[in-house]
Amino acid sequence: MSAHNEEAPNLIGDELTEREAVVLEAGADAAGQRLDQWLAARLGPDISRSRVQALIRQGAVSIGGKPVEEAKRKMAVGEHVSVVMPEPEPAEPQGEAIPLDILYEDDELIVINKPAGLVVHPGAGNWTGTLVNALIHHCGDSLSGIGGVRRPGIVHRLDKETSGVMVVAKTDRAHKALSEAFADHGRTGDLERAYLALVWGIPHRPSGTVDAALGRAADRVRRAVVPEERDDARHAVTHFSVVERFGEGQKAFATASLVECRLETGRTHQIRVHMAHIGHPVIGDPDYGQAFRTKANRLPEPLKSEVTAFSRQALHAWLLEFRHPATHLTMRFEAPMPRDMEELVGGFRKL
């Protein structure tokens, strides 16, 4: 079964013409932008860029009365874009028989090793095939009402393409205690989280701290380092240490590092944005590592092909430690890097 479904309902024939159409005019700021990017910004936040792309594939987006075929089509000033809006999605997620890698489970909580590609909770463009759908099927009614309809039991999250350890609450008591621990980010010693990131280049220092506020990027979808005085700025701190260096001391090939990151705050895409900010983006990151894609050309085969084919950020939450909300015992869980990331790291070790 597919881990997620980003496509809109299948709209064909007369169904398209019977739906409500939204007509938008491209202003001067639209010139040169990709159609899907511009539409996602204009229709957001309920319509994601992936949903816009699905609508384009289904013929629901037209310019000048003609259906658009290319999501990457460049916009021109004054164009009128017509979008046949999709039907409303179901309000409550349903259980789905999606396999879970369970590390631990009791009456209070469940700990899983989330694979890359699995969205945590339902949202625009991802109403099915999520971790929440899998948890509802696995846990039944025990998650009902805990933490909200669309995020039952969820006290923290990992990006869709980030793998690793997650804990989910099964009772109100566990949800309250774990939510407080994650909100505190371990400052009181009750929580420890660590990630492994394969990044481009080798940091000048073996360890360091990135203290830089995050806010929305210009496209309104991604995040970026922004001035602290900006209205949407959120305090963000990441501590990193270099675990391994690859290609150090040679000049023929691009270098890389395996870095451990620990969060003092928990902002969206924090590690990915912070590592890119200091010049060491996560390898494979499609959002924050685009400027470094040509680095792969400076690698020997077969590593060059392996890096080029790696379609997600090489980021893994390998460690999670917390105090059990009922027994108050410290619980520690570790998850090895998934095979695709381990093989990629292995390739860099041969440099």
Catalytic machinery residues: 159
Alpha-carbon torsion (120, 124, 128, 133), positive or negative = positive
- For residue 309, give the amino acid letter: A
Q: Which alpha helices (H) appear in the chain, and where do they start and end?
A: 14-18, 35-43, 49-57, 131-139, 172-184, 270-277, 303-309, 339-349
Phi-psi sector, 68: left (phi>0), alpha (psi -120 to 50), beta: beta
- β strands within 187-289, DSSP E: 191-200, 207-211, 214-216, 223-225, 237-246, 256-263
CA–CA–CA angle 294, 297, 301 (5° rounding): 145
Measured in whole angstroms, how far is the alpha carbon of residue 120 from the centre of its chain? 9
CA 97/CA 14 separation, integer angstroms? 34
Q: Among 169, 159, 168, 173, which Cα is nearest to 126's?
A: 159
The structure tokens listed for 101 are 């890698």
Whole-angstrom distance, CA of residue 215 vs CA of residue 192: 25
Q: How many CB atoms lie within 10 A of CB 128?
A: 19
Helices (H), 46-104: 49-57
| CA–CA distance, 295 with 242 (Å, rounded to integer) | 20
Of 282, 270, 289, nearest in space to 314 by CA? 282
What is the C-alpha to C-alpha distance for residues 319 and 96, in angstroms, rounded to an integer? 27
The pair of structure tokens assigned to 248 is 């150090």
